Amino acid sequence: MARGGATAGDWPGRGSPWEFDPGPARNRGWGRLFSETPNYRGLGVAITGREVFRWHFGPMFYRGRLTDRGVKVLIIGQEGAQDESLASRSFVGGTGARMQHLLAHLGITRSYLFLNTFVYPIFGQYSQGLRALAQDPASPIVRHRHRILDYALARNDVHLVIAVGTAAKESVVTWVRSHGGGCAGDAGDVAGCDAAVLGPRVRLVGVLHPGGAQGGDADPVVVDFRRAARQIEEWADADPGWLAVDPDGERGAAGEYAYRSAPIPFRDLPYAVSWRLGRGATSSNRADEQRGIQLFGAGGHYNGRGDALTYPTTAAGTEEGYAVERGELPYEPSRRPWGDFDRGPPGGFARLLQGGVTGLEWPDFTSSLPGDGSFGLAPLHRGRFDNVKALVWADQESHDDVFCCRALCGDAGQHLQGVLEAMGVARDYLIVRVLPADTMGQTWPKVRRLVDHPQTRALHAELLARLRARNPGLGVVVAVGPQARRLVGGLPTAPLPVVELRAWRRAGARADWRRALERLRGLSYTTDSEPTFVWDGRRRQIPRFDLPYGSVRWRGTSGDRAVRPVQDGDSSPHYLKLFMPRWAWLLGPEPLSASERSAVVELG
């Protein structure tokens, strides 16, 4: 199967890209609990006198199963890093890969949940000031974490808890004590804890943090992981029904355990996440005083080592179009309503858009376009698949899609949002990118050949047929840009009217889009809001209900956020940098609530 520039080597152990995590169910308490995150920034400054949390790209709450009775193994760590920030999921980078391999050795392929001591990354090492915030029962962070951990116990039959690193071990001790259990030994000795207070069959084990092996002696970490594997094997041998393997798992003997990495399954990550994330090692690095995270390709591009890169802009952005409700923070996901996110496409569409349907695969883009195959396919859609009233095909206009996991999220998409509102379709739309490959800066003949490719046209024709069968209210097609106009011209859209718009980056686009609204005024189609057919030419933010769970509120706002660097005089396909907007970077901590101020006094 052609996979649009990536090879089958990107997939082993990961499942398929059309498998994904939709986010917390709206009829369970997970999302509400996550939305009650305390004021990490304010608490950190109040207790230590300085910023101790890397707040810029937001929190990451979990990875794994949030379904009832879906978790047998609970893994608790310290905090996430930059890969986790990009994926909006925990344990995605190097440490996550080490733990994924340990789980696979135990035969646990699905029934796990990763959580952390802190939902925000920290600056530097786990220190005394952070220890008070992390372990004192009076700390709002501790209380919040305990509510999450207790909910995990209440909704599941947890048998094994693995603490990764010092902070996590101390967090388990604090948790056990909050249930009235005792813990012998020092603050990080989970082996001496009364695990029965968490559940009659719960067992606790701790391991050294894999990060301790970076740039130094890995032997102590390897030895400790092998010790943990032996301990778990002893428990399983003594009680064969204690920790059953998952249906597709197979438990290895402790003596055969090897300290290795395993890739993160696609089913643990948001739909259309870059395939680079979760491949089994760290894939990004922080830059620009926390404003930027650089994603680098596989194959010797680690942290840009050896490559001379120049970024043509730092993407400062402006607040134009950004809108926020009272109590919301730009660097956190929506709190009210916390369920305002996109759960991803229905299964059949998820597979089709990724080129996974036999006979409807994408062409191999590597023969026509330069690109880094480890990034995988770019997101192809944004919007809904049900109640669709307007279907939009659009050209790629930025690199933001890679980080938003949805199509047309940059400056062009933010301006298009205003047009959709003006035409009276503020929610019931579906936007589809013409090609899931990077076409920016490429010559029109190269791109045209891919647009005209029989596989490209066949896939889009099938998508159109499925959408029309599913959405009898579909009333208009919009084509934005030359690729979209050419593609739509060859699709069986009749009798649907087709309205064409100039690409946003082309001169005269603003006037052209206003002319298109006048044409739309003369058409008859169903709307979901009152149309005005008047657009002020300004940006709107990408609605939260278009983006996957965990997206911080500044994403999809403030213009283009993603930048590709120049290397040796040409655009480099191996790097992308995501910049937070400067206006958000300059924000100070939010004031503490009354209860948080009281907690600070108690913490001393």
Q: Confidence band (pLDDT; 50, 70, 90) for 214?
A: low
Residue type at position 54: R
Instruction: Tell me the mean pLDDT in the region 358-377.
Output: 90
CA distances from 453 to 183, 379, 449, 450, 456 (A): 65, 19, 6, 5, 5
Residue given tokens 């808890």 in the structure block: 161
Contact predicate 562/413, CB 8 Å: no
Does the pLDDT of residue 463 top 90, yes or no? yes
Does the pLDDT of residue 601 top 50, yes or no? yes
Q: Confidence band (pLDDT; 50, 70, 90) for 336?
A: confident
Residue given tokens 């967090």 in the structure block: 171
More confident residue, 66 or 10: 66
Nearest to 260 by CA among 310, 225, 228, 308: 225
Residue type at position 65: R
- Counting residues of the chain whose pLDDT is more than 70, the rounded percentage is 98
Strand order across the 63-64 sheet: 63-64, 112-116, 73-77, 160-164, 203-207
Instruction: Tell me the mean pLDDT in the region 519-547.
Output: 97
Does the pLDDT of residue 133 top 90, yes or no? yes
DSSP tag of 193: B
Q: Confidence band (pLDDT; 50, 70, 90) for 10?
A: low
Least confident of 149-158, 421-430, 439-448, 507-516: 439-448
For domain 28-268, give the CATH number. 3.40.470.10
Tokens representing 543? 């609605």
What does pTM read for this prediction?
0.96
Contact predicate 71/246, CB 8 Å: no
Each residue of 244-260: pLDDT tens digit? 999 999 999 999 999 99
Element (H, E) at 160: strand 160-164
* Number of Cβ within a 10 Å radius of residue 248: 8
Instruction: Tell me the mean pLDDT in the region 283-300.
Output: 95
- Characterize the bridge pairing of strands 562-563 and 575-579: antiparallel
Which of 120-129, 138-147, 564-573: highest mean pLDDT?
138-147
- Counting residues of the chain whose pLDDT is more than 90, the rounded percentage is 90
pLDDT, position 7 = 44
Does the pLDDT of residue 240 top 50, yes or no? yes
Each residue of 28-62: pLDDT tens digit? 999 999 999 999 999 999 999 999 999 999 999 99
For domain 342-547, give the CATH number. 3.40.470.10
Q: Distance of alpha carbon 566 from its chain centroid, rounded?
A: 26
Query: What are 64's strand-pairing partners?
Result: 113
Each residue of 175-198: pLDDT tens digit? 999 999 999 987 788 999 999 999
CA distance 432 to 435: 9
The rounded mean pLDDT for the chain is: 95
153 SS3 class: helix
Task: Delimit the domains of the chain by residue range.
Answer: 28-268, 342-547
Q: Confidence band (pLDDT; 50, 70, 90) for 9?
A: very low
CA distance 202 to 330: 39
Q: Confidence band (pLDDT; 50, 70, 90) for 215?
A: low
Instruction: Tell me the mean pLDDT in the region 261-287.
Output: 96
Nearest to 353 by CA among 466, 488, 233, 212: 466
Total number of residues shown for the chain? 604
Does the pLDDT of residue 8 top 70, yes or no? no
Does the pLDDT of residue 70 top 70, yes or no? yes
* Number of Cβ within a 10 Å radius of residue 350: 20
pLDDT, position 371 = 82
Each residue of 88-119: pLDDT tens digit? 999 999 999 999 999 999 999 999 999 999 99
Nearest to 428 by CA among 382, 496, 497, 480: 382
User: Cis peptide leading into 495, omega within 30 of 0?
Assistant: yes
CA distance 221 to 282: 18
Least confident of 166-175, 360-369, 438-447: 360-369
Tokens representing 296? 């680098």
pLDDT, position 327 = 85
Nearest to 574 by CA among 316, 451, 402: 402
